[in-house]
């Protein structure tokens, strides 16, 4: 699955703009590359790992699978470094939502932070 998918269903999700506004209000330079992380949750480790295998590997991103800190869920975390582009994030959200749904999971959103 390509990082930014090919799905044209990129209807705005108000939480995308809210994340950007929160970052802006915290003084984050939105013109510089940030670590962007998308989060998917699954009921089982197997489902999370299947989704990770379907998404694939690349030197451009990191996919991690692990147990959620609070609760019984398993998480698929996709992290990559880029300048925030809401159109690209929306396309990726659509692709990841479909991937999660195909593996009985749920797309939980995204966050961004200054690289460490």
pLDDT at 29: 92
Percent of the chain with pLDDT over 70: 87
pLDDT tens for 40-87 read 999 999 999 999 999 999 999 999 999 999 989 999 999 999 999 989
The SS3 call for residue 27 is: coil
Look at the block and give the residue holding tokens 């990770």. 52
Q: Taking 90 as the threshold, does the pLDDT of residue 2 lie above it?
A: no
Mean pLDDT (whole number) for 103-109: 96
By the 8 A CB rule, do 22 and 113 touch?
no
Alpha helices in the chain (DSSP H): 14-25, 45-55, 86-102
Transcribe 72-99 into DSSP letters: S-EEEEEEEEE---HHHHHHHHHHHHHH
Residue carrying the six token digits 């030197």: 59
Note whether 19 and 111 are within 8 A (CB).
Answer: yes
CATH fourth-level superfamily of 18-24+32-113? RraB-like (3.30.70.970)
Phi, psi of 19 (to 5 degrees): -65, -45
Greater pLDDT, 105 or 15: 105
What gap in Å lies between CA 17 and CA 113, rounded to an integer? 15
Q: Given a cut of 80, is residue 17 above it in pLDDT?
A: yes
- For residue 54, which of 70, 42, 71 has the smallest C-alpha distance? 42
């Amino acid at each position: 699955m390509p990082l930014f998918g090919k799905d044209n269903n990129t209807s705005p999700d108000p939480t995308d703009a809210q994340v950007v506004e929160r970052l802006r209000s915290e003084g984050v330079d939105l013109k510089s590359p940030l670590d962007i992380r998308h989060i998917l949750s699954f009921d089982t480790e197997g489902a999370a790992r299947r989704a990770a295998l379907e998404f694939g590997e690349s030197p451009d991103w990191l996919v991690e699978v692990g147990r959620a800190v609070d609760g019984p869920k398993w998480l698929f975390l996709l992290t990559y470094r880029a300048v925030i582009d809401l159109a690209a994030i929306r396309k990726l959200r659509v692709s990841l939502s479909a991937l999660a749904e195909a593996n009985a999971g749920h797309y939980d959103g995204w966050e961004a932070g200054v690289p460490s």
